Amino acid sequence: MEYLDNLNKEQKMAVMHIDGPCLVVAGAGSGKTKVLTTRIAYLIDQGIYSSNILAITFTNKAAKEMKERINKIVTNNYAFVGTFHSFGLRIIKENYDILGLTKNFTIIDSEDALSIIKKIMKDKAIDVKEISPSYIRNRISFIKNEMLSDAEITRCFLSEVEKKAALIYFEYQKVLKKNNVIDFDDLLKLPVDLFISNPDILDKYQDKYQYILVDEYQDTNEVQYKLIKLLSSKYRNIFVVGDQNQAIYGFRQANYKNIVNFESDYPDAEVIVLNQNYRSTTTILNAANSVIKNNIHKKDVKLYSELGEGVKVKYLRSDNGSGEVNIVVNEIKNLLELGYQKSDIAIFYRTNAQSRVYEEAMLKNNFSYKVVGSFYFYKRKEIKDLISYLKLIENHDDDISLKRIINEPKRGIGTKTIDNLESIANEKNISMFEAITSGRELEFKNLIMDLTKQSQDLSLTELIDLILEKSGMQEEFTKDHSLDGELRMENLMEFRSITESFQNVTGSVNLSDFLDEISLIADITEHKDEDDAITLMTFHSAKGLEFKVVFMVGMEDGIMPHINSMSEENGLEEERRLCYVGITRAKERLYITNAKRRMLYGKEMINPPSRFIAEIAPEYIESNIISEKKIDKNLLYDDTDSEYKSGDIVTHLTYGKGVVVGVDERFVTIAFDKRFGIRKFFKNYKGLKKGK
C-alpha cells in the first residue's frame, strides 16, 4: 500500500478509519479529495466489496476527478461515486413504479418548470406582473428541499403572495404527475419519501451501501441531510468531510449546522482535523486564521503550512473606483514582468456587476481573460436587451434590435406576428418599425416613439431609467424575488455607471456618441476564452479553486461584506467565511484593494474599508495607501451654468469649432462640421469654450 506513504499523520488516520461514524474537519487546501479517494481504495484493499461503497459529492467535476484518482490506485472499482442528484436518479429508476411513475418518466429542467408555472398562473388568473413565475419556482424548490408537508405549507405560507405560491405548488404537482415527469428537486425528495414510506426498501439500500462517504458536508441542505441519515442509520459507517469555515451557500438553503451537529447525531464519532495546508504560504494562512477567528459559529481549525513565510498581504487603497482598477492593472503588469503567467492570476469580486470595469480594463490592456460563473458583461441578456432599446431609439430602421426586444419583456407578441411583420417589410422595402400599424405591436411602436421624443430632453442616465421603467424591465426583475432576478437588476443598474462615466468625462449626452463608444468595448469578438488568461470571478465561484496570485477587489463595507448581510441573521458570519474562502485560494501572493469612493449601479458610493481588513493582524499585511489622480467633476463642470445663446461660436476639445443652435435649462446644442454633426452637452461642461 504505497499510496499511504505520501499521507501525513492525520490524513492516514482518516484513510485507515473503517467502521463507525467519522467526521474529518478538512481545512482549506488540506488534501480532502486525496483523503476521500485514498480511503475508498483502502476500504477495497481491506476486503470490502467496492459495490458496497457510496461516495457522494456536489459537482460532476469533483465526482469525475475522484473516480479517476481511485482507478489509478485500484482495479475493479464498482463503488458509486457521483453527485447527490445522480444517486437520487438511480434510486428513482430502480423504484419508479412504487413512486407512481412509469418506466419512461422524464426529468424537466428549470425552464420547463417555469413554463408549467406560467400556464397554471394564466389558468388561475394570477397576474405575472403581480407575482414573478421565477419567484414561484424558487418557493416550490424551497418546499421540496425543506421536505415540507402539505400541512406545513398551509401553516407556514401565510401572506397573500405565499398563499398563491402554495396554490400553484399543489397544481404544479398535479401537472407533473399527469405528465409522468419529475423536476430536478424531486431527484432528492422522492428517494427520501420512498425510504420513509417503505422501510423494507430502505433496508435493502442500507445493506447495499454499507460504507458511505460525503464530501463538502457543510453544504448539505435538509433533504440531502435526511437522505444520508436514513441510509447510514443501520450500519453507521458514515464518513463525512467538510469545513464549517467554508460554508458559504446559505442562500441555496445549505445548512452549515449539519456539520456542527454531526457529533450530536453520532456521539461516538471519531473526529479528525486536517490542518496542514499544502497550498498557501504561512503569511496568507495566518491572515485567513486571524479573520475567521472572529466568527462565533466556527470550528477551530488553525491552518499551518510548511511552504515558507512568503510575502505579506498587500493592501492598496485608491481615491476612486477607476484608480482601483488602475492599481490592479499596474500590479498585474509588474507580476507578468516577474515571470508570472496570466493563468496564475485571479480577480475576485462580491457581485457580478463589479466585473464590468475589470473586463473593460482587460480589453484595453490586451490581457486575455475569462469570466467564470457568469457571462461577459456586454453579452448578458439583460444588457443586450437594454442596448437594443437604445439602438432602436436612435435608429428606428434597426430591424435586428427591434426583433430582439419587441416581445422583451413579454407583451404577447408571438413569433408568427414578428415573421408576418418581417414579410410585409420585405415586400414593401420598408423597415419592420414602419410596417407596424396595429395590435400589441403598435403599443410597442408607440412606446419607442415616446422614448425617442423624451430622449431629446434627458441625460443618458435619465434615459436608461426611463427605458427600464416604461419597457417593464424594471418591474419584471424587481418582482422576480429570485437570486437571478436580483443579479439581472444589479447588472442593469451597473449600466447606469457606464452612462454616468461617459457623461462625466465627455460632457456629452448624445446617444449616438455613447453607442459608438460602447460598441468599441462591447465587440464580443474581442472576448476570447484562452488557456493563459486572467480569471475573473465572484468569491462564491472561487470555492474549490486555487491561484498563485489573488486580487480581492472592492473590499468595502456594503460591498464585502454585502449590505444585505447586515440585516440577516448570521449574515455577517457567512460573509466572513466567504472572505476566508477568498484568502485561502491564494498560494503565493494576495492583494486586497478598495476605494474611497466609487461608481456602482450608476451612483457614487462612499464606503468605509471592509471590516475584514482590520481583522487581519498587522504583522501579516503591508498597507500602502495609494492616491491615484482621479477625474474630478469639479475640474470638468462649473457650479453655475455657462450662458449661451444661439449663434455663439464655441470650441470643443474633440469636435473643434461649432455654432450654438439651441439652449434650454440644462443642455446646449451645437452644430459642428459635417463629420460630427449636431451634438448636445451639459451647459456647465468645461470642455466647451466660447469664442473663436
User: DSSP letter string over 391-442?
Assistant: HHHH-TT-HHHHHHHTTSS--S--HHHHHHHHHHHHHHTS-HHHH--SHHHH
Q: What's the pLDDT score for residue 482? A: 65
204-261: per-residue pLDDT in tens?
999 999 999 999 888 888 899 999 999 999 999 999 998 887 777 776 667 777 787 7
Q: In the beta sheet, which residues pair with residue 538?
A: 349
Q: Which whole number is the average pLDDT over 90-100? A: 92
Does position 406 have pLDDT exceeding 90, yes or no? yes
The number of beta carbons lying within 10 Å of the beta carbon of residue 544 is 15
Does position 661 have pLDDT exceeding 50, yes or no? yes
Instruction: Output 551 or 599, whichever has higher pLDDT.
Output: 551
- Residue 629's pLDDT band (cuts 50, 70, 90): very low
Residues 6+ apart with CB under 8 A from 128: 118, 121, 410
Dist. CA 593–CA 623, nearest whole Å: 10
Q: What's the pLDDT score for residue 626? A: 45
Q: Which whole number is the average pLDDT over 412-431? A: 90
Inter-residue contact 600 to 606 (CB < 8 Å): no
Q: What's the pLDDT score for residue 263? A: 86
Grid coordinates belonging to 353: 456587476
pTM: 0.68
Dist. CA 511–CA 517, nearest whole Å: 10
Does position 628 have pLDDT exceeding 50, yes or no? no
601-614: per-residue pLDDT in tens?
777 788 889 999 99
Catalytic residues: 32-33, 215-216, 246, 585
Q: Which is nearest to 213 in space by CA: 353, 350, 329, 66?
A: 66
| Phi, psi dihedral angles at 358 (to 5 degrees) | -80, -35
Does position 525 have pLDDT exceeding 50, yes or no? no
Q: What's the pLDDT score for residue 638? A: 56
Instruction: Output 96 or 682, whichever has higher pLDDT.
Output: 96
Mean pLDDT of all residues in the chain? 86
Inter-residue contact 237 to 52 (CB < 8 Å): no
Instruction: Output 176 or 374, whichever has higher pLDDT.
Output: 176
The b-or-e profile of 205-233 (16+ CB within 10 A means b, else e) is bbeebbbbbbbbbbbbbbbbbbbbebbbe
